[in-house]
Chains A and B, each alone.
Chain A
Amino acid sequence: MNLTLLILLPLLTAITILLLRNTAQVKWVALTGSTLQLILAFYLLFVFNNERSAGNTAQMLFELQYNWFPAWHISFHLGVDGISIAMILLTAFVVVAGILVSWNITKMTKEYYFLLILLSMGAYGFFVSLDLFILFFFLEIAVIPKYLLIGIWGSGKKEYAANKLALMLMGGSALVLVGLLGLYFSTPERSFDLLALAHFNIPIETQMICFPLLFVGFGVFGGLFPFHTWVPDGHSSAPTAGSMFLAGISMKLGAYGCLRVATYIMPEGAKEYANFIIILSTIAILYGAFATMMQKDLKYINAYSSVSHCGFVFLGIGMLTKTAMTGAVLQMVSHGLMTALFFAVIGMIYERSHTRQVNEMGGLLKVMPFIVSVLFIVGLCSLGLPGLSGFVAEMTIFVGSWQNADTFHRVATIIACMSIVVTAVYILRAIGQTAMGPLKAGFENLTDATWNEKLAAILLVAGILAIGLAPSWLNNLISPATDIITQKIFPMAIGVK
């Protein structure tokens, strides 16, 4: 399969949207484009699995390379492995759902959809690039639309949030750029190629400098503590689809970059800094969870819980075992679906009740059974209920973390485990106050979900269930790819036990 299709299709959709004048047409084109993309993503999964079962053991499949700027050795190099495919699937799901929930947007509809599709193109490009320059290029494409989405269609302190988000992410990408240049000049043949860099043993001194640059740079995108503060403000000010994309897709760009670029290329650096990563992520997990407990605004609740959940991703990466890293990728997918769904539900509730404060709501189960049932599902997923995706991811991370036998890792794992209790506390508080209890006055006439909202919710719930009920397919997709990364960190290890 030609991977450029994955980038061309959104590009084409975006251009078509720009040419259209009728807003109804814009919506349908966006929906068709993203649905086609979803089908394409499934097709990619299908052919990928076919290739793998046919015995193709190449690290990256469907590779494709054009010389883009030969003088600087920049090439348009694409390829996918299991991790990228998982991410592409996630993106496709979230994009379709995001477009469905913003069906009722009236302000500058065309531009809104154009930006959404553009953002998704950046994400697809990012996940398939094997050349770091191209990867960086797509990363930047994914940043700018966010600024506009929040600044124009947002709510609350939207200018502040948009500025903060854009500046912090730009700061992150500045670090990434410096790190990339460091890598570029460390190789004799001056290459941006991910695989070439990975096969070339970068000098340890360079790794010591470039690893933190790249990890922190991407970490800013992924909400790494203490660079996470754009997350709550950005998410809560963004429009519904914006929050979904932000939490579901673009935070995953960062985590993917940490894993694929920083950790994979610089195993020595990863080893040196692993303990820092573990400390930061453990703090993020527990502290994010406690901070969530105190929030009153549903969007803030989900945003802070995202900080906590993304902490698990970094914890999984920092643990450096194959199982934990697989868990980290599972958590990326799981959290992406879950948090997108959570934001979608919050958006639906907000559209009806015009409030996001939990203490102003109550008893919504009576008037909107569908939406609240979805809220229950997503809440239970967030607190790691078996049968839903969150459980699979978290347990994989815990089991993987526990394979490190020393006290430091043990303590970190136990602290991370504690968050499942705190998560239960804040999720149940939020659900208990909004959905249960006596119905508050003024909410008697609220309506349940419309067709597009139902479709979006069902799509994401299906994704969550597909991972939660039968995690094997995703696990088998991801673990060969994470195995390559951990093999590079511990070349001789047959597994720590």
Chain B
Amino acid sequence: MPNATYIALIPLLPLAAFILLGIFGRKHFKNSAGIIGTFLLLVSTALALYTAYGYFFDYGKVNGVYQKLIPLQYNWLQFSPGLSIDIGILLDPISVMMLVVVTFISLMVHIYSLAYMKGEERFPTYYAFLGLFTFSMLGLVVSSNIFQMYIFWELVGVSSFLLIGYYYDRPSAVAACKKAFIVTRFADLGFLIGILVLSFYSGTLDFNTLIQRLTSPESSELKTAVAASFLGVSALTWGVVLVFIGGAGKSAMLPLHIWLPDAMEGPTPVSALIHAATMVVAGVFLVARLFPVFSMSAPALEIVSYVGISSALFAAIIACTQTDIKRVLAYSTMSQIGFMMFALGVSGSGGENGLGFTASMFHLFTHAMFKALLFLGAGAVIHFIHSNEMKDMGGLRKYMPITHITFLIACLAIAGVPPFAGFFSKEEILLAAYQHNSFIYWIALITSGLTAFYMFRLYFNIFWNKEHEPQGEHHHGEGGFAMMMPLLLLAVGAAAAGFIPFGHFVSSDGAALESEFHFQFSIAPVALGLMGIFTAMWLYKTKNNKPDKIAVSLNGFYKAAYHKFYFDELYQLITKKIIFNLIGRPAAWIDKNVVDGFVNATGSTTQTISEKIKGFQSGKVQQYAIYFLAGVIALAVLFIYVWK
């Protein structure tokens, strides 16, 4: 068994950075905050790598199958005898893989930010928030309990909120962070109810027990969960679909994706860390974590795969039209996550059937590398140009050679050109899709062609196209060692990560999965990818008017895609018009006028009545005496004749 202490330190060190820098940073660590945060994370990364080494090559495997180990568990809150939130650490291939990815990417971003964020007024706060995010994300991936995952899920959401709103004095950043939080929160509602459903039928919140109870065919829990139905759908399906809604929100799947492009308002390294490599794949991770339960419900898997593929295609189309480079990358992230999602959807559990699962995790891994690289590269460009818009760029290859080369590697990787990382993982995904659902396969194929096209559109627009005319002095060049080192390291990852025999480590049942390489199968995707690249080259390598012509000829469609198919407007309509005007305003009005009106009416009625009857109080003694006499006589009559 592994030593629990140092594994616990992996998430706790970033937490320490958060507390230290969050409370004392402004006063005491104004300049050293970055170094402190980075150092703590470096230790954390080392520990994560050590853990991964130990798990994959030493104690993790028993009889050729990777075990689910729980080196640490602490009873945090006991709801009822069966249900409790236990904060713990669960080690299995995917969580260990995620530990490495999260710490590594986070470390890269920490180092990169040393230069990128230098001189910011809230520099310590920035590192504090990065620490909080890293802590939450690590806590999320090692969760041993579904509620623990929900806890860290929310924490991840809030740290994303804080980081998007880092430039809090920009109204657009404020709007974006609120939007991100509320949209994901809405999705979390599904997650929460899903947890309630699953925990009710399985009688536990613990992942291992829950999965075991809801998947073994002879368990009574599974039988009741399948038998119980609501609106004609079994409780099990409801549970996992609701959980999936939560995952879809975090992972920006259609139609809950609207927050992701806006989230680019945050500092670019943050986009690289949170909105590209780690947090947004939490939804994929969630589905993967509960994958055995998902695989018990065919409708749920179908939903996962169709949501995934439609998001992939949809985002790819939009990405072709955007002009803000970070937004292009944001849509490409959404598209790639769509790939991971549908790969899970078309997968089965166990053995050869689990190819989609492995492929999805593999793509998650490689995507983290090249997408972080793309974002950090874009960050370097933005740092240089001080603009996010493509029209301000062009011809930068001469000014930023390192950025150029690394960016190109990342683009080749994401386009699926061999032998870069993306090729291998995407190949596996397509293979899994081909084996299970040919419709999804064809759409995925088209999407991967589009991916190559829009990535190289981006690439050519930044580094080629028109010549760059330096305005004034670019005194800081490419950003120095702190910014270039992460780019180079990630470029190595993006170039070489594909050669890892991933199926040996991560598979749906823990046993090694041999992935064979089918040469003839990969011809179509690669050819499509190259076609995309050459189209982009033809259109964008030099400045010309071909793109505009095409845009004009595709007028309606182009416009719709440029406006992101009017999703934002639709949501605006729903929130502003319907929720605010049709629910919020009436509720406030009813409270003020009906409910409170009733209270006030009671008061004013009392007052009116007393106003009326105070005439009796004339101050004339003899009148009182008459009332008195009348009263006595009335009572006497009553007593004598009525109540004998």
Contacts and interface: CB of A to CB of B under 8 A. Distances in A.
A365 interface: yes
Given A413-B196, A417-B193, A391 B83 contact: no
Contacts of B599: 164, 168, 229-230
Nearest to A407: B230
A400 interface: yes
A289 to B, nearest CB: 8
B87 to A, nearest CB: 10
Contacts of A233: 596
Interface string B327-342: 0000000000000000
A199 interface: no
Given A290-B584, A291-B587, A387-B155, A436 B77 contact: no
A395 B147 contact: yes
B394 to A, nearest CB: 33
B16 to A, nearest CB: 15
Interface stretch (A26-34, A43-51, A312-320, A425-433): A425-433
B321 to A, nearest CB: 30
A495 B81 contact: yes
B79 A363 contact: no
Given A363-B169, A432-B174, A287 B587 contact: yes
Question: Which of the listed residues A417, A424, A432 has the most CB atoms from chain B within 10 Å of its own CB?
Answer: A424
Contacts of A294: 580, 584-585, 587-588
A167 interface: yes
Contacts of B185: 383, 420-421, 424
A420 B192 contact: yes
B77 A475 contact: yes
Classify the interface of chain B: helix, strand, loop or mixed. Answer: helix
B169 A439 contact: yes
Interface in A349-395: 363, 365-366, 369, 380, 383-387, 391-392, 395
B282 to A, nearest CB: 15
Contacts of B79: 323, 396, 399-400
Contacts of A470: 76
B588 A290 contact: yes
A203 interface: no
Interface in A217-242: 225-226, 228-230, 232-233
A276 B147 CA distance: 30
Interface string A291-309: 1011100000000100000
A366 B125 CA distance: 13
Given A403-B200, A428-B182, A437 B174 contact: yes
B514 interface: no
B77 A472 contact: yes
B169 A438 contact: yes
Contacts of B83: 323, 399
Interface string B178-193: 1001100110110011
B168 A437 contact: yes
Nearest to A426: B584
Interface string B620-638: 0000000000000000000
Contacts of B200: 402-403, 405, 497
B168 A435 contact: yes
Interface in A447-497: 470-472, 475-476, 479, 495, 497
Nearest to B81: A495
A402 B150 CA distance: 17
A335 interface: no
B58 interface: no
Given A380-B158, A436-B165, A167 B603 contact: yes
A322 interface: yes
A402 B168 contact: no
Contacts, number: 137
A18 interface: no
A326 B131 CA distance: 34
Given A291-B591, A293-B580, A398 B196 contact: yes
Contact of B26 (A167, A369, A384, A399): A369
A227 B203 CA distance: 38
Contacts of B181: 424, 428
A417 B580 contact: no
Contact of A472 (B26, B76, B150, B590): B76
A428 B203 contact: no
Question: Which of the listed residues B80, B83, B583, B596 has the most CB atoms from chain A within 10 Å of its own CB?
Answer: B80
A399 B196 contact: yes
B151 to A, nearest CB: 4
A24 interface: no
Given A402-B196, A421-B185, A436-B169, A295 B78 contact: no
Nearest to B153: A386
B595 A226 contact: yes
Contact of B178 (A414, A421, A428): A428
A286 to B, nearest CB: 9
A15 interface: no
A432 B583 contact: no
Nearest to B184: A424
B464 to A, nearest CB: 38
B76 A290 contact: no
A420 B186 CA distance: 8
Contacts of A163: 603
Interface string B79-115: 1110100000000000000000000000000000000
A304 B158 CA distance: 24
A363 to B, nearest CB: 6
A417 B319 CA distance: 35
Nearest to B152: A386
A475 to B, nearest CB: 6
Interface string B587-604: 110110001101100010
Contacts of B173: 436
Contacts of B151: 386-387, 391
A418 interface: yes
B174 A436 contact: yes
Nearest to A369: B26
Nearest to B588: A294
B192 A385 contact: no
A295 B588 contact: yes
Contact of B78 (A428, A439, A472): A472
Contact of B154 (A226, A295, A391, A479): A391
A461 B497 CA distance: 46
B165 A475 contact: no
Contacts of B618: none
B595 A290 contact: no
Contacts of B598: 226
Question: Which of the listed residues A293, A429, A436 has the most CB atoms from chain B within 10 Å of its own CB?
Answer: A436
A403 B147 CA distance: 16
For the complex of A and B, list the 9 residue pairs with the smallest distance between their C-beta atoms, beginning with the closest: A294-B588, A386-B151, A290-B587, A229-B596, A436-B168, A293-B584, A402-B196, A436-B174, A291-B587
13 contacts: A228-B595, A229-B595, A293-B587, A294-B588, A366-B169, A385-B155, A403-B80, A405-B200, A417-B192, A420-B192, A437-B174, A471-B76, A497-B203
Given A369-B26, A380-B158, A472-B78, 18 more contacts: A164-B603, A229-B591, A229-B599, A294-B580, A365-B168, A385-B158, A386-B155, A396-B79, A400-B80, A417-B192, A420-B192, A421-B186, A436-B169, A436-B173, A438-B171, A472-B77, A475-B77, A495-B80
Interface of A: 163-164, 167-168, 225-226, 228-230, 232-233, 287, 290-291, 293-295, 304, 322-323, 363, 365-366, 369, 380, 383-387, 391-392, 395-396, 398-400, 402-403, 405, 413-414, 417-418, 420-421, 424-425, 428-429, 432, 435-439, 470-472, 475-476, 479, 495, 497
